[in-house]
Amino acid sequence: MSASVPTVGSWHRLDRAGLQAVIDVLWLVGHRVVGPQVADGAIVIRDLRGVAELPTGWLDDQDGGSYRLRHDPVAGTFDHVVGPHSLKNFLFPARETIASFVQLNGSWSQTPPPAQVPPLAVLGVRGCDLAALAIQDRVFLGSGYVDEPYKSRREKLFLVAVNCRRAAATCFCHSMGSGPAAGPGFDLALTEIEGGFACEVGSERGAAVLAEAVAAGASIGGCSPEEVEAARGVPQALAARMHARQQGDGEPRPRSLDTHGIRDLLMTNLEHPRWDEVAARCLSCTNCTLVCPTCFCSSVQEVADLSGDHVDRERQWASCFSLDHARMHGHSVRSSTAARYRQWLTHKFAGWIDQFDTSGCTGCGRCITWCPVGIDVTEEIAAIRASGSGAAPPDGAAPAGAPEAGETAS
């Protein structure tokens, strides 16, 4: 056994009581702790007090337009994958006041922003969602102006990641380079092993929390080199299975995406007939943008109290599928569903590369699962690649200068 003093890069063995101690420490030092739980027929992220609330024994079967929970006595605590929630719901909430104004004696003034919410700790974050966080960081922190509400929550965020050992049919993180191994950015990362969890320390704060849990009496030992190797092998084995399964004809169909030259492929096919074909199915319901962990569009509403003397400017998620998104002088620039679907897909997989030097997609598959008619981005892009102009051959070299989504997403 190696030394069990937690340091950045060290591995430790936790049983369920040890994980409970970590959760307790996080609450104790002032975090709001949230994690995956079964509610309303799905695995959602909400306040988490104890390991008993985690979805142990639950699996999620996902496919285009379909999400079903199934109990399996041999399933572990984190063998489900991603549900409709992501870090976005917490760091970039669906509604948020971004400025407030008050009127006194007929004159308005802007009031300081409200007191900050307590720091957040999220348990069960997957590789794809760590990648999504890095992408939203570029949007809100890295493009010149800083979004202060996002920044203040982001800086205090504590992340307990999980290395996936199972993938849903909708998962294609292996294509986007975002998983299944939890990439950089976590404070602690768990890998489910026989009898508990192997826990990798990713930051000084992670080490401190683990040390606190030990000090509180939790039984947290070191991992042997063999155990570390076995734990590292868990997501590696899953990645190998994901690459292998894309050759086969599984049911439901396992997803993958060829990202070679994807930016130029899409931007040279803005008039492809496929946009009209997908628009015939698309309901323009906005679900895909709501569950997407990177979609960042928003609009601002004026919210006044009854006196009319207090006004909050409330930022709300917006969607490029709504007519209001590109509305000008009473008409929408993108009045057709085909144009709105094209905007979403080309922004996510092409425009994003120009804007933020990364794909906007992490391969989490949520947009496929939560689309009521089961529209599948991987299928749409493959169709354009199969018949579009300037399509790069599947294994061909990307045009010079075109970043590869899969290489930059993490």
- Which stretches of the chain bind another protein, using CB under 8 A? 98-99, 101, 103, 107-110, 137, 139-148, 151, 154-155, 185, 187, 203, 205, 267, 270-271, 296-300, 302, 304, 308, 311, 313, 315, 318, 320, 325-330, 333-336, 338-339, 343, 346-347, 350-351, 353-355
Q: State which residue, 20 or 203, has the beta carbon closest to another protein.
A: 203
What is the C-alpha separation between 322 and 332, in angstroms, rounded?
Answer: 9
The minimum distance between CB 347 and another protein, in angstroms, equals 7
Q: Which two tokens stand for residue 77?
A: 């605590």
Q: State which residue, 64 or 261, has the beta carbon closest to another protein.
A: 261
The minimum distance between CB 333 and another protein, in angstroms, equals 6
Tell me 128's DSSP state: H
The residue behind tokens 């018949």 is 387
Q: State which residue, 74 or 104, has the beta carbon closest to another protein.
A: 104
Sort 211 into a burial class: Cβ within 10 Å, 0-12 / 13-18 / 19+.
Answer: middle
Phi-psi region of 232 (alpha: psi -120 to 50; beta: other; left: phi over 0): alpha
| CA contacts within 13 A on the Cβ side of 239 | 18
Strands 42-47 and 158-162: unpaired
The minimum distance between CB 368 and another protein, in angstroms, equals 22
The minimum distance between CB 325 and another protein, in angstroms, equals 6
The minimum distance between CB 114 and another protein, in angstroms, equals 13
Q: State which residue, 244 or 270, has the beta carbon closest to another protein.
A: 270
What is the C-alpha separation between 310 and 306, in angstroms, rounded?
Answer: 8
Tell me 350's DSSP state: I
The minimum distance between CB 313 and another protein, in angstroms, equals 7
Q: State which residue, 242 or 361, has the beta carbon closest to another protein.
A: 361
Q: State which residue, 191 or 294, has the beta carbon closest to another protein.
A: 294
What is the C-alpha separation between 37 and 27, in angstroms, rounded?
Answer: 17
What is the C-alpha separation between 359 and 298, in angstroms, rounded?
Answer: 20
